[in-house]
Amino acid sequence: MAIETSIPSEYYDDNYIPGTTNILTGQQNELNSITSTKSIKRDKNGLVLIPQPTDSPNDPLNWSNVRKYWNYFLLIFYTALTAATSNDAGATQDSLNERYGISYDAMNTGAGVLFASIGVAAYLLSPAPDLYGRKIAYLLCLLVGLVGCIWFAVSRRTSDTIWSQLFVGSSEAAAESLVLLSITDLFFQNQLGFHMFLYIFSTSVGTFLGPLIAGYIAHYQSFRWVGWWGAIICGATLVIFIFFYEETSFERYLYAKVYDSTSIDGDYDVTNDKDIIVKEDDDKKSTIDTKIYNEAEPHQHPVSSNRELADIKTNEMFNIDPETKEEKPRPYYKSIALITPASFLVGTGFKQYLKRLWLYLKVFRFEIVVWSGLMWGFQDVLLSFYLTTEETIFYDPPYNYSDFGVANLNIATLVGSIIGCFLAGYVSDYYVSWIAKRNGGLYEPEYRLYLLFITLILSPAGLIMFGVGSDKQWSPVCIYAGLAFVGFGFGSVGELALSYTVDCYPEITIISMVIVALINNLLACVFTFVCSLWLDASGTTNTYIALAVIEFALIALIIPLIYYGKRIRQKSKKNYIELIELLNGLK
């Protein structure tokens, strides 16, 4: 037998469709079912745990809740922090203009640079988690964020305000791509909706409260303290991550257990020589029949079992106790190591890094990933428009809002976003499980999309209520409600678009999120420059009507996706498996 890839044999079945899973049997093939599932691990409700946890104490899925949620909290805090620092520069525009003559157009250019840097940095950083572990990427992002905040705090020239945003934007790169991968390291598929709700919620908190808090800081302490406070918090978070954030990367395929669909007596076997045989002994304890490979086979990975131990090198890789023959938990100093090299890393991994950068561009062939990027990206486009409208309309008569009054408008958007995140995350987990159970356990990613029919109505309506209402001086209640509806769209669209993509292509989560982040932020970058020109040329009312129509059309794409999404996934099967094989071939 040979272990060359982490791809289960059923992926090569003619009936296999990426994303289709039976939550009652664990099969990823809707036409086959497992007739004996003794060794399959389930939750308290009887649902199959996906992915299946190993017996290793170092598997993040087996960590205690305290350990899981501490690391998860750090990820959520990092996401909120970088979202806040990336959106707080607008609160300093007036001060920079008055003191140094830095134009609003220059600050707008800085915003464009920020968006572009998020997407490009996410792409350039994307191979690092596979090769060197997740932690080093977070540390690098926090470090460049610290530099960017300090640079912004001492800004005196136009170039300072623009190029500091390059660093501040790069600090958010891991938040937009890697955090979701780390969340999937820690939690099972049926838990992702709730935890992605908190992820989008943290993004919303940073995005909408960041400018509000920065406005108060600029008013009471001066605009420079916006940068200094960002630097202080980034620096403190960097130290906490160094000493208290644990590495979550885990090469699960080295422990993979594959079940034969024809087994009926508890002895699970496979015929594909790429897989590992899993049997159940007389004491009903799972053991793994394995083979240790010598170093002459560079693309094959050593696997250890409780029955057979190889040489010292293999024991060290799996942290096997030579006396008890059991795998031990990693020492704390190893779990917080700055770099955790992959078992397949060759030298420094430079050539592997470059190959992956090229390979990841193949994800643009996946229509669902591109759709997700456009959906999430357009929410950032809308953010540019309504923030610009708030700054250009509400300071003047008849509104005459103060800096605080304008900043407080974001509270309505935040409230709407929280409700949207809750519906698309926490509620959707129960909803899709209920639908799957009614369908014999068969889960399709498209089940989540039905919840966007609510957003299809509320988000475009909110754009008209806010945009046209602001221009025509409608009731403040209508304007605030409109912002809440727009925030609802931000939260629900972001949550469901990302969840749908992860559900469709779970084996390439990091790559998918990188491409989504690239599309998202490059789209936002373009519209940063277009926003003011469009509002000036068409007027506020006509612009927001057009935006509402575009938003409606984009969200309405869920209708063909509900009907044809499965066919699209089936059509992408060849490219999906090829991509996984290529990734494993580079190892």
Task: Centre a 10 Å sphere on the Cβ of residue 18 and count the other Cβ atoms it contains.
Answer: 27
- The pLDDT score that the predictor gives to residue 278 is 35
Mean pLDDT in residue range 118-135? 92
Give the confidence band of 584 by pLDDT, cuts at 50, 70, 90: low
Q: According to the model, what pLDDT value does residue 325 have?
A: 62
Query: Structural domain tally of the chain?
Result: 1
Whole-number pLDDT of residue 32:
43
User: Residue 27: its pLDDT value, please?
Assistant: 61
Q: Is residue 307 part of a domain?
A: no
The per-residue pLDDT for range 33-90, each reduced to its tens digit, is: 433 344 677 767 667 777 788 888 889 999 999 999 999 999 999 999 999 999 888 7
Say which range, 10-24, 68-82, 112-126, 161-175, has the weakest mean pLDDT: 10-24
Is 543 within a domain?
A: yes
What Cα–Cα distance (Å) separates residue 531 from each residue in 353, 464, 480, 549, 562? 37, 17, 21, 16, 32
Assess if residue 469 is contained within a domain. yes
- Residue 339 is assigned to a structural domain of this protein: no
**Residue 409 and residue 208 in contact, taking contact as beta carbons nearer than 8 Å:** no
Question: Token digits for 132?
Answer: 């060197």
Helix axes 558-571, 573-585, angle to 10 degrees: 60
- Tell me the pTM: 0.81
SS3 277: strand
pLDDT tens-digit map of 492-547: 998 889 889 988 998 888 889 899 999 999 998 888 888 888 998 999 999 999 99
Q: What average pLDDT does the chain have?
A: 81
Residue 143 within a domain: no
Residues 212 and 410 sit within 8 Å (Cβ to Cβ): yes
> pLDDT exceeding 70 applies to what percent of the chain?
82
* 3-state DSSP of 71-133: HHHHHHHHHHHHHHHCCCHHHHHHHHHHHHCCCHHHHHHHHHHHHHHHHHHHHHHCCHHHHHC
Q: pLDDT category, 399, cuts 50, 70, 90?
A: confident
Task: Look up residue 190 and give its DSSP letter.
Answer: G
Supply the pLDDT for residue 558: 95
% of the chain exceeding 90 in pLDDT: 40
Q: Which residues lie closer than 8 Å to 332 by C-beta, 6 or more apart? A: none
Alpha-carbon torsion, ordered 478, 482, 488, 493, to 10 deg: 150
Span 244-271, pLDDT tens digits: 999 999 887 777 543 333 333 333 333 3
297-318 pLDDT, tens digit per residue, is: 333 334 434 434 344 444 555 5
pLDDT for 82: 95
Contact between residue 197 and residue 422 where contact means Cβ atoms under 8 Å apart: yes
Phi, psi of 68 (to 5 degrees): -60, -50
pLDDT on residue 51 = 77
User: Which residue, 498, 412, 461, 485, is CA-closest to 208?
Assistant: 412
Domain that holds residue 485: 367-504+539-571
Examine residue 247 and state whether it is found in any structural domain, yes or no.
Answer: no
Q: What 8-state DSSP symbol labels residue 329?
A: P
Length of the chain measured in residues: 587
Q: 40-49, 407-416, 454-463, 557-566: lowest mean pLDDT where?
A: 40-49
Residue 138 lies in a domain: no
Q: What is the pLDDT of residue 265?
A: 35
For residue 560, is pLDDT > 90?
yes
Residue 94 has pLDDT above 70, yes or no: yes
pLDDT tens, 314-372?
455 556 665 656 778 888 999 999 999 988 888 898 998 998 898 888 899 999 999 99
In a domain, 551, yes or no: yes
Instruction: Give the pLDDT band (50/70/90) at residue 287.
Output: very low
